[in-house]
A and B are shown apart, each in its own frame.
Chain A
Amino acid sequence: MSHAPQIEQALTQLAEFGADARQGAEAALPAILRHGEAVAMTWLQTASKLYKQDPDSGRAFVGGSVEAESASEEVLRWTAQAAAFTRWAGSTQVVEGFMRELPAAYALLGHAGEEAWVGFGMRWCERHLDSGRAYFAVPVRELSGRQGVAGIEQILESAEELYDARHLMLVTYLQGALRVRNLLGPQAVTPWAMRGSDIMQIGRTRGEAYFRLESDESLRLLMDSLPGFRPVERSRLLSLLVEIWFGENIDLKESTWSPEKGRPFIESDGQSLMLPPVLTDQDETVLAVLHSAGSMIHGSYDPKDIRRMFALAGVAAPLEGEPISMEPLFVRFGDDMPRFKLIFDVVEDLRVDVCVTRNVPNHLRRMLREAESLGVPPDPAGSYYRYAIETLRFALGQPNELAAAERDLLARVLDPAAGIAESFEVALRLFEITQLPEIDSHEAVVLAYLPGRSPNASRAFQPRERSTESQGGQSEGEHGESEQDHESSGEQEQGEGAEGEGESDDASETEQQEATGTGTTQGVGSAQRRPGDESGKGDGSLDKGIPYPEWDYREQRLKRNWAWVQEKKLAESNLGEARRLEQEYAVPLKKLKQALQAQKPTRLAPQRRQFEGEDIDLEAAITYVTERAGGMSPEASVYRRRELNQREVSVILLADLSTSIMQLLPEGRGRLVDRVRAGILLFAESLELVGDDYAIAGFCSKYRDNVAYYRIKDFDQPWTSEVKAQVGGLSGRLATRMGTAIRHATACFDEVSSRRRLLLLVSDGRPEDYDDGGDRRYLHEDTRMAVKEAVSRGVHPYCITVDTLANEYLPQIFGRGHFLVLDHINSLPRRLPEIYLKLRR
């Protein structure tokens, strides 16, 4: 191809930067030349200027020119703009970003808009090249948020202010701001930025982390301002509902959902439910919890059915003990996989929801109502959504638009005995006959689910046997079911923190641990001994401590001098932590104190028939007068006195300090021990105000001859900062030989004179020790015995536990009404003083 001489010359010049430079320019030239040779010359000069500064800039310019020209139908303007970037050394990435986004800028913003877009960028390049780079790196579509130039202005407005006031660079701000706008809408950006500006004032690093959305506080702020219903905050309600309707405890955890992942769903791994931070409303949330819990209970994860399904699909069954993925079942559908999966889910969800309706009478009706009120999503998802609604109507016996053949198929899964395998069969047949459209994008697929439903088996899961009662078979297998329950919860206890998929290894490990009976004392798998084993630790040290008997239910006798208690002082103390907790709980503490103050007048028990006092005891006075008149000589005890009846109640707060209290809380905000510490602090503060006599102690154990009893505060010891510091430094260790600790605490009551004696146990699990040989019943029976002994000595043990499975063993140990299971660990600090005050009434 021949060119005009001057152009040829310019091209030759370009060739100095490499052969590809010239080739690139030649390729683009025809498009440019449409605007005339003069324009082409300017373009070529700019190209070589850019090449000169950095070959990469030149390449980006030349390479992007054809598209830029076709989008803008001009050359000079953007050529000049590109040339302007050469003012800054190191602007290569700016040019690259600019050239990449040019077509989009013209398309979305128009010519004037494009100019404004570049203008903003230039200003930032001038201030801070990195910020300019960050600006041009963002796709125009994202930057404008479909609002045109106004969108860009709006997002930059706060940036300008922040730059002026705090010298915050756009590079720090931009990504976070865009994310905030995407998630929460444009109106959220300014408040978010203002808050960030405040944080910036406290500390620059912290502020920058906030703007990058790297700090917890900004993420929390974001999550907090998401509109909708927060399942995690209401997890107590939700777990209450699961227990009411299904009579089972299912662990509720927080999922790792974040807003970019699209529509939030409740997920399940076959053992527990993962709640997203936010769902539409309470109705949807309750439906979702009931539906997901229902699928666990009604056999969506049933190993037998799953094997049958794999056999039906002709795929090798998953290995025993491995987490199961359903994916192999769907592979053969190829491109039609999303369509089949959706149909399968409609069928299986219908089966589960019909089962759930047998537990919860209005479940189906409520789902239908919620589905209708939330509105149908756009097609193709809408077709599936409407189809699912029709199946609900069919199940409810309402008129529906399903074909007769479809109804016949679906009727099969309405049978109470049908399992997920039947759903699979039905889905295979339905797949052939329904008219549902193609669907491929993930965004569309997630919209197809009715409120409360979610993609089944979206993550790998552990099989869970169908609860037998749900199948209609009654007494049989009851026992097996509760076994299963045990095991699963044991796993959850330990799998904490390890979210989701990676849990498989943990699970098999913990199963072994369960077997050795050291469930709550994790990480120690060694040294099993039979409880009757003589050896003990036997280092024969001098301070063997105080011996107590222990009850052996197998021999039906007390073994004398069996368990040895050593009284100790806690070595650790942490005043800072105590102070921090005091601060953190300042509000509840203040409320508690106010409540106590308000109660105080009534709590001052009037003492009647006193010889002196501020009030006349009317009844005593009348008795006195009448008796005098009757010729007797009564004692003149006619006064009543209001006085704090001190030493009326004595209480020991006995904390279980076993290893398990060090576990991280499922919500990821601290450890169990934090709540225990806070609970003890609040308890002590309120007791100080009430004026009751109290002591604080902790216990842990390792083998029968090594039960440590930590005296944290004695009855006559004042509540000083040293004591607080000890509470602040509490930590968990070893195991839980509860019976021995109760016996020792009972003995400690000998020091006090009051008649009413309360032993308040705070625990998080069942009695267990390393040498119980896996025989849970042994220490259970011993603890039960210790409680009986305490009662006969005038001490009332009362147990507060955060172990949600405690309903299985505490009634036997403490007796009905003598224990309380807290549904939520976070409520421990507040509840502890409350419970005590209620008990002492």
Chain B
Amino acid sequence: MNNAVNRERGVEHDIVHRPEADDVEPYYEPQGNEIAVFEAAARRKLPVMLKGPTGCGKTRFLEHMAWRLKRALVTVSCHEDLTSSDLVGRFLLEGASTVWQDGPLTRAVKAGAICYLDEIVEARTDSTVVIHPLTDHRRQLSLEKKGVEIDAHEDFLLVISYNPGYQTVLKDLKPSTKQRFVGINFDFPTPEVEKKILMNEVPGLSAEIAAKLVATGGKARGLKDHGLDEVTSTRALVYAANLISAGLEPVEACRAAMVNPMTDDIELSAALSEIISAHFD
């Protein structure tokens, strides 16, 4: 019954919700020692920085780790206009009086959740400064407007992601911010792992198609230094695999998932199409 209603209207979750014991494990295929590093950092309460190209599994990794550690995950996607009060909180009017409302970061600090600031580089510099005292031994968040400081819950963990490949040279994290984090490098998985991922993500995908998709993606990534802002990600391969298993012709599916969203450049898309048809011919 409940499920039927949920399907009708979507499900509303509070942003801070702890994984339940019977939650399904978010699928994640380790590429190296990242799980061990992350667990150690979590034990020692050290903030973590995930570095790597778009769509290589950073967010999924974090979901998986939140499930493992049984902690809530609060994700904030940073953008140009994200200010510190968007993170920390602000006063709101309620009737004749004012009420303080905690921002997502504050809630995570209090609840002992993992706070994930996605693409932190995009945010305004003032918002990166508020996280400084949270990242060292103090583990404090100061709410200047309210005039209080919060000592973080002992399960609180700050995680940021950072994509160094982005061609926004002028937007880089300040070295003083960077060096406060434990860094974990992500890259696209090895062909065997990627094939495994595809077959896990898309049930019913044949091993042969998965292998071809992985080979296609591997070749497509060779175009990186030729004007593609982002290379074919594992996510794009998963999309393509999904489209194929939904009944689309492989070449069509790949074009829809791996070429059209990536580039408007005629030559680059022709080159990508060549790669695709070479593998799926």
Instruction: Known contacts A240-B226, A243-B222, A365-B281; decide if A798 and B169 are in contact (CB<8 Å).
Output: yes
Residues of A within 8 A of B97 (CB): 629
A649 partner residues in chain B, CB cutoff 8 A:
170
Closest to B166 in A: A817
Q: Quick one: which of A236, A244, A245, A247 has the most chain B CB within 10 A?
A: A244
| Neighbouring A residues of B164 by C-beta, 8 Å | 816-817
A146 within 8 Å of B (CB atoms):
no
Q: How far apart are the CA atoms of A415 and B271 in the complex, in Å?
A: 29
- Could you give, for residues 364-400 of chain A, a 1 whenever the CB lies within 8 Å of some chain B CB and a 0 otherwise? 0110000000000000000000000000000000000
A623 B222 Cβ-Cβ under 8 A: no
Assuming A234-B267, A237-B271, is B170 touching A839 (CB within 8 A)?
A: yes
- Chain B, Cβ-Cβ closest to A796: B169
The contact string, 1 if C-beta is below 8 Å from chain B, for chain A 649-681, is 100000000000000000000000000000000
**In this assembly, does B90 line the interface, its C-beta being within 8 Å of a C-beta of chain A?**
yes
Considering only residues 807-834 of chain A, those with a C-beta below 8 Å from chain B are: 807, 816-818, 820-821, 823
Tell me whether A619 and B274 are in contact in the complex, defined as CB-CB below 8 angstroms, given that A234-B267, A629-B96 are known contacts.
no
**A363 and B278 contact, Cβ closer than 8 Å, known pairs A240-B268, A629-B93, A839-B170:** yes
Closest to A648 in B: B170
Name the distance in Å between A121's Cβ and chain B's nearest Cβ. 51
Q: Does B27 reach chain A (CB closer than 8 Å)?
A: no
In the complex where A623-B90, A796-B169 touch, is A366 in contact with B223 (Cβ < 8 A)? no
CB-defined contacts of A820 to chain B, threshold 8 Å: 167, 225, 227
Chain A residues in 8 Å Cβ range of B166: 817
- B270 CB within 8 Å of chain A: yes
Q: Are B92 and A622 in contact (CB under 8 A)?
A: yes
The closest CB in chain A to the CB of B169 belongs to A796
Interface of B is mostly: mixed
Interface pair A244/B267, CB less than 8 Å apart: no
Contact of A838 among B145, B167, B223, B275 (CB under 8 A): B167
Could you tell me if B169 and A839 are in contact, using CB atoms closer than 8 angstroms? yes
Using Cβ atoms and an 8 Å threshold, which residues of chain B touch A625? 93
Inter-chain contact A366/B281, CB cutoff 8 Å: yes
- Taking CB atoms, residues of chain A closer than 8 Å to B270 are 234, 237
Q: Does A241 contact B (CB under 8 A)?
A: yes
A-B contact count (CB 8 A): 99
Contact A247:B222 (CB < 8 A) given known A622-B93, A626-B91, A629-B96: yes
CB interface residues, B 150-205, toward A, < 8 Å = 164-171
CB distance from A259 to the nearest CB of B (A): 26
> B132 at the A/B interface (Cβ < 8 Å)?
no
A533 at the interface (CB under 8 A from B): no
Cβ of A817: which chain B residues have Cβ within 8 Å of it?
A: 164-167, 169
Is A591 in contact with chain B by the CB < 8 A criterion? Answer: no
Q: Known interface pairs A244-B223, A361-B281. Does A630 touch B170 (Cβ–Cβ under 8 Å)? A: no
| B219 contacts the other chain (CB 8 A) | yes
Query: Are the CB atoms of B90 and A240 closer together than 8 Å?
Result: no
Instruction: Tell me which of B90, B165, B268, B275 contacts A816 (CB under 8 A).
Output: B165
Q: Is B3 an interface residue (CB 8 A)?
A: no
Complex: chain B residue closest to A628, CB-CB: B98
What class of interface size applies to chain A in its complex with B?
35 or more
Which residue among B97, B145, B167, B223 has the maximum number of chain A CB atoms within 10 Å of its CB? B167
Task: With A362-B278, A622-B93, A626-B91 as known contacts, state yes or no: A839 contacts B167, CB within 8 Å.
Answer: yes
B279 contacts chain A at the CB level, 8 A cutoff: yes
Given the complex, which residues of B lie within 8 Å of A440, measured CB to CB? none
A626–B100 CA distance with the chains assembled, in angstroms? 10
A408 near B: Cβ within 8 Å? no
Q: How far is the CB of A220 from chain B (nearest CB, A)?
A: 22
C-alpha gap A237/B263 in the complex (Å): 14
Q: Is B242 an interface residue (CB 8 A)?
A: no
Contact bitstring A599-640, B, C-beta under 8 A = 1, else 0: 000000000000000000001001101110110000000000
How far is B274's CA from A362's CA once the two chains are assembled, in angstroms?
10
Is the Cβ of A756 less than 8 Å from the Cβ of B167? no
A468 to B41, CA, bound (A): 44
A631 closest partner in B (C-beta): B98
Q: Is A752 an interface residue (CB 8 A)?
A: no
In the complex, are the beta carbons of A623 and B268 less than 8 A apart? no
Closest to B171 in A: A841
Scoring B92, B168, B270 by chain A CB atoms within 10 A of each residue's CB, the highest score goes to B270
Q: Does A515 contact B (CB under 8 A)?
A: no
With an 8 A cutoff between CB atoms, is B85 at the interface? yes
Q: Is the CB of B281 within 8 A of A623?
A: no
Asked whether any CB of chain B lies closer than 8 Å to the CB of A286, the reply is: yes
A244 to B272, CA, bound (A): 10
Q: Assuming the A-B contacts A241-B271, A244-B275, A361-B278, are A758 and B169 also in contact, with contact meaning beta carbons closer than 8 angstroms in the complex?
A: yes
Whether the Cβ atoms of A629 and B278 lie closer than 8 Å is no
B277 within 8 A of A: yes
* Residue in chain B with minimal CB distance to A608: B83
Across the two chains, which residue of chain A brings its CB closest to B93?
A626
CA distance A148 to B257 in the complex (A): 58
Report B-chain residues with C-beta under 8 Å of the C-beta of A818: 169
19 A–B contact pairs at CB < 8 A? Answer: A234-B270, A237-B270, A241-B271, A243-B226, A244-B223, A245-B219, A247-B222, A362-B281, A623-B145, A625-B93, A626-B92, A630-B91, A817-B165, A817-B169, A820-B227, A823-B226, A839-B167, A839-B169, A839-B170
Interface residues, chain A, CB within 8 Å of chain B? 234, 236-237, 240-241, 243-245, 247, 286, 360-363, 365-366, 619, 622-623, 625-627, 629-630, 649, 756, 758, 796, 798, 807, 816-818, 820-821, 823, 838-841
Of all A-B residue pairs in the complex, the 6 with the closest CB atoms, nearest first, are A362-B281, A626-B91, A626-B98, A240-B271, A237-B267, A796-B169
Please give 9 more A-B residue pairs, beta carbons under 8 A apart, in addition to A619-B83, A796-B170, A817-B166: A240-B268, A244-B222, A362-B277, A365-B281, A366-B278, A630-B98, A649-B170, A756-B170, A839-B167
